[in-house]
Structure formats: C-alpha cells, structure tokens
C-alpha cells in the first residue's frame, strides 16, 4: 500500500466566539496579557445547543457529503476526545446514526482518550489499520472533537471548541512517513479531570508547560535518531518545510519552535548559523533541568528562531489563534491552517507534527505532501475547509454572555430532564444541535 494517510479533511467550529482583547479587559488582566502574552486572538465556545456529539455529527456528515464518499465505504471509524459525556458509551456509537440509512454497521473502532492526544491515537490506529493485514480495502475515518472550558482563573482564556474529520486511505495527498515516528510517554499530574461532577480540569499550568517542552525535546531527539539511522544523515529543522505543534495557546508554539532551534544548536546542526550560535553559546552548558527554567535562554532562542518561525510555523497558527485550544482537534486545526494557506505550494514538501496530551502522552511524526487527485487533492481540501468564510461568518459575543453560557453549562453538566432553548439562529444549515435530555439522561439532537 502506497502513501497511506489523509485523503480528505473538514472542520467545524461553533459560530459563537469572544475576542481575547475584550475578555482581557473584562477579567481585569493587564492589557496584552491574552493577546501578546498567550498570543491568542479569539476563542470559540459551544452555546447551550452544541456539544462534542453535535459537532462531530456535523463534521462527519459534512465530510461525506462534500467529498461525495459513500457511507458504505467506511470500514473503520475512530474518535479522539477528552470531553466526557457518556462515560461508557462512545461518541463513535453516536456517529453510527449517519451510516444507518446506508445499512453499513460493519465499522470497527471506538473512542481514544488521553487529554489532547486522543485524536493522534485514533489517527495512528486508522493509518496502522490501512497498512495492516486486517485492512478490508475501505476507508478509515478519524474524528477529533472537543470543547475546552476552564474554571475562572488564568487558564480560562485558553479554552476553545471544534471538531475535525479526516478520511484515511492509500494514495493520499498527505501521507505518513511511518518510519519516522517517535513518542514520549510518562506518568505526571499536569492536567486531569478527576472531578466527574465538573467539566473543568484540574490543571497545574506551569508544570504542564514544562512537561510539554520536555516531551517535545524527547520526541525530537528520538525522531532525529531514527531518521539518521534510516537516511544516514543528520536531521535538523532544515529538513522539513513546516513544523506543526499542538496549540494550547500560541505562545507555547513560539517557545516550542525555539526549543527545536536550541536542540539543533546543541547537536551542532548546520541549520544554526554563526550569528545564532553566538547568541546561544552562553547556554551551551546548562543542564536539561536548568534549560527549562532559564528565561534568558527562552528569550535568546525565540529571537534566534523568529525568522524561521515566520516561514515554517506561522502558516499553521491561523485557526488555533482564532479558535483557541480545541484539545484533540488543535494539532489538526493547525495542519488544516497550513493546507488552507499553502495548498498550492506543498507538493513534495514535508511537515513535522508534534502531538501532546497531558498526563502525559506525546508523538512526533512526519507527513509528506503531494498535490493529489480530485476530490482528494490539496486544492479541494483547502476549498472544503473554507476557513476564511467560516471565520468571517462568526458571531462575536460579549465576555458577559460567554460567562453566562459557561454558568448555564456548569448547571447542565451531568444533568437530566431539560430542554435547550433550541436557538439555531447562528448555526449554518446542516448543523446538528441538542434539543433535550430526558429523564434517563438520553440526549436528543436535530439537524438544522
Ligand atoms: N502583555 C504581554 N505579555 C504579558 C502581559 C502583558 N500585559 N502579562 C503577562 N504576559 C505574559 C507573561 O510574561 C507570560 O509570557 P511568557 O511565558 O513568555 O513569560 C504569559 O503572558 C502568560 O502569563 P503568566 O503569568 O506566565 O501565566 P498565567 O498565570 O496567565 O497562566 C497558563 C498561563 C499557565 C498557560 C494558563 O493559561 C493555563 O494554565 N492554561 C491551561 C494549561 C495549558 O494550556 N497547558 C499547556 C499544555 S497542556 C494542554 O494542552 C491543556
């Protein structure tokens, strides 16, 4: 099987959003804290008629229609999510409704969950399935769906919401270089959801940042080792056109790319020029631990990385900056941003992806791009994604209204016997929405 990977992609995000600048002022944070400090522009959120199930129904339905894929041709469907609704019933089973009419019930796969990593686990499972002896010749379908909401406090501006669907098969325009794949997994309490009565996580923000960067270093080191063993030459940031990172907020992405530059400097790579070497020299003797704590190193490496960041990373930041952290969908929304921004110049290029889920699990992997053939072409994917249109048709909400919605959702979380306001005025036609939850906690959705 040649070029197994992503054939098609679609994204859905809620039309309601709040500007970070307005939220900053509302929260009494210093000016620039969310927009420059965190690097975020805007944050999407689910209104009372939307949730991870409705968003995933919407995006799967939309992908099948827009790429004209016969539902009978799906042989595996996997969902990545960390938003808990029915603790034992998977979101995947909800999506089976879309396949009912076609009579296709022969679809493997369930949900994967570990913080923001579940989507990557689902994706790797589908790619592995197509590459394996169990493959029956049909497509895999991966869905990443999450609504990220935080309790009042510094983490609240790092929320977001979206669902992404990706069709998996051979001869893909976005194919996996499966040999170059490195993971770093460990036990840490940096972000977790132990309180089942609340949708909000318990989060140690500072620890989660350090864990993320340590996982990145470890994955990159092993990724480089594997590449070097196979190809017989050193890997550096010069060997990929784009680097796409899981994006809880943009500042961490800036720090991540700077960290890769620091790694290349420490490995004496030709990607680091003399001027950069001079700036990083004072940090060459830091221990690993010290290097995570050094503010001076952070500043110097970000300065060194700035020029290449604009070329190799910035094109991936559009959707994450506009929508916020979409947990499992964040990394793939960043990939979608590159496809959208650069689709006509990606042929033959390489994208390195870094997936991180607290707790912690992480993988770095490599994608190779080719223009592909309609409907599974990069230009068609870019047009289906319709990022500009979707962003422009959003509705900006005042921070007060956003907080009011969160309060209502706190009340509704895990509740039964209620009806939603069924207000679909902001939703585009075809969007699924929640109408009510009955006395047995069963949920009911309609389609606009
Ligand atoms: N203008 C410009 N920058 C500012 C301003 C201002 N007025 N005020 C603060 N800043 C900067 C700070 O210097 C800092 O930047 P730096 O890291 O480059 O120094 C940044 O804004 C953040 O401010 P802090 O005070 O360091 O952090 P804060 O207490 O606001 O918390 C955090 C930030 C930890 C990211 C919090 O939002 C959080 O816990 N988020 C959820 C956890 C998370 O996303 N972790 C990432 C990996 S795990 C995951 O994906 C869930």
Each residue's pLDDT expressed in tens, for the chain with a length of 448 residues: 899 999 999 999 999 999 999 999 999 999 999 999 999 999 999 999 999 999 999 999 999 999 999 999 999 999 999 998 998 999 999 999 999 999 999 999 999 999 999 999 999 999 999 999 999 999 999 999 999 999 999 999 999 999 999 999 999 999 999 999 999 999 999 999 999 999 999 999 999 999 999 999 999 999 999 999 999 999 999 999 999 999 999 999 999 999 999 999 999 999 999 999 999 999 999 999 999 999 999 999 999 999 999 999 999 999 999 999 999 999 999 999 999 999 999 999 999 999 999 999 999 999 999 999 999 999 999 999 999 999 999 999 999 999 999 999 999 999 999 999 999 999 999 999 999 999 999 999 999 9
CA-closest residue to ligand 1 atom 3: 37
Cis peptide before 190 (omega within 30 of 0): no
Q: Hey, which of 24, 37, 120, 325 would you mutate to test ligand 1's pocket, going by the most ligand atoms within 8 Å of its Cβ?
A: 37
Residue 114 phi/psi, 5° resolution? -160, 95
- In the reported structure, the alpha carbon of residue 157 is separated from the centroid of ligand 1 by a whole-number distance in angstroms of 9
**Which of 240, 248, 245 is closest to 258 using CA atoms?**
245
Contact 303 CB / ligand 1 (< 6 Å): no
Residue 144 annotated to the active site: no
Give the integer Cα–Cα distance in Å for 117 and 355. 6
Q: Which of 116, 211, 219, 224 is catalytic?
A: 116
Contact 58 CB / ligand 1 (< 6 Å): no
pTM of this prediction? 0.98
Contact 209 CB / ligand 1 (< 6 Å): yes
Distances (CA, A) of 155 to 38, 152, 200, 362: 10, 7, 10, 21
Give the integer Cα–Cα distance in Å for 266 and 282. 12
Any idea which residue has 């002896």 for tokens? Answer: 133
- In the reported structure, the alpha carbon of residue 364 is separated from the centroid of ligand 1 by a whole-number distance in angstroms of 24
Q: Which of 78, 82, 199, 241 is catalytic?
A: 82
Contact 155 CB / ligand 1 (< 6 Å): yes
Residue 246 annotated to the active site: yes
Residue 307 annotated to the active site: no
Contact 282 CB / ligand 1 (< 6 Å): no
Contact 160 CB / ligand 1 (< 6 Å): no
């Amino acid at each position: 099987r040649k070029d197994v990977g992503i054939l098609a992609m679609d994204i859905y995000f809620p039309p309601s959003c709040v500007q970070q600048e307005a939220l900053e002022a509302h929260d009494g944070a210093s000016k620039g804290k969310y927009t420059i400090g965190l690097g975020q522009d805007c944050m999407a959120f689910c209104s009372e008629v939307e949730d991870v199930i409705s968003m995933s129904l919407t995006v799967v339905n939309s992908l099948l229609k827009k790429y004209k894929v016969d539902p009978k041709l799906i042989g595996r469907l996997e969902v990545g999510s960390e938003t808990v609704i029915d603790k034992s019933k998977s979101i995947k089973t909800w999506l089976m409704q879309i396949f009912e009419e076609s009579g296709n019930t022969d679809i493997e796969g369930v949900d994967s969950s570990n913080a923001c990593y579940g989507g990557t686990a689902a994706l790797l499972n589908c790619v592995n399935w197509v590459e394996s002896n169990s493959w029956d010749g049909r497509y895999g379908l991966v869905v990443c769906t999450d609504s990220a909401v935080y309790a009042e406090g510094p983490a609240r501006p790092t929320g977001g919401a979206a669902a992404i669907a990706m069709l998996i098969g051979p001869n893909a325009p976005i194919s996996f270089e499966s040999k170059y794949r490195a993971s770093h997994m460990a036990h840490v309490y940096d972000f977790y959801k132990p309180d089942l009565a609340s949708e909000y996580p318990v989060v140690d923000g500072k620890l989660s940042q350090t864990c993320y960067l340590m996982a990145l270093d470890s994955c990159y080191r092993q990724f480089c080792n594997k590449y070097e063993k196979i190809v017989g030459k050193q890997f550096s940031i010069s060997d990929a056109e784009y680097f796409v990172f899981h994006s809880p907020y943009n500042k961490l992405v800036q720090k991540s790319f700077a960290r890769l530059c620091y790694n290349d400097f420490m490995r004496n790579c030709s990607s680091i020029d003399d001027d950069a070497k001079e700036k990083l020299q004072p940090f060459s003797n830091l221990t690993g631990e010290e290097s995570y704590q050094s503010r001076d190193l952070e500043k110097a490496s970000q300065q060194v990385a700035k020029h290449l960041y604009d070329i190799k990373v910035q094109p991936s930041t559009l959707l994450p900056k506009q929508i916020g952290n979409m947990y499992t969908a964040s990394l793939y929304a960043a990939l979608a941003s590159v496809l959208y921004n650069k689709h006509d110049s990606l042929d033959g290029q390489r994208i390195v992806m870094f997936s991180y889920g607290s707790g912690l699990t992480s993988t770095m992997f490599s994608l190779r791009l080719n223009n592909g053939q309609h409907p599974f072409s990069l230009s068609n994917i870019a047009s289906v994604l319709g990022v500009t249109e979707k962003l422009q048709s959003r509705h900006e909400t005042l921070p007060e209204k956003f907080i009011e919605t969160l309060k209502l959702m706190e009340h509704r979380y895990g509740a039964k016997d209620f009806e939603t306001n069924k207000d679909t005025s902001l939703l585009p036609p075809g969007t699924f929405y929640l109408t009510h939850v009955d006395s047995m906690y069963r949920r009911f959705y309609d389609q606009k």
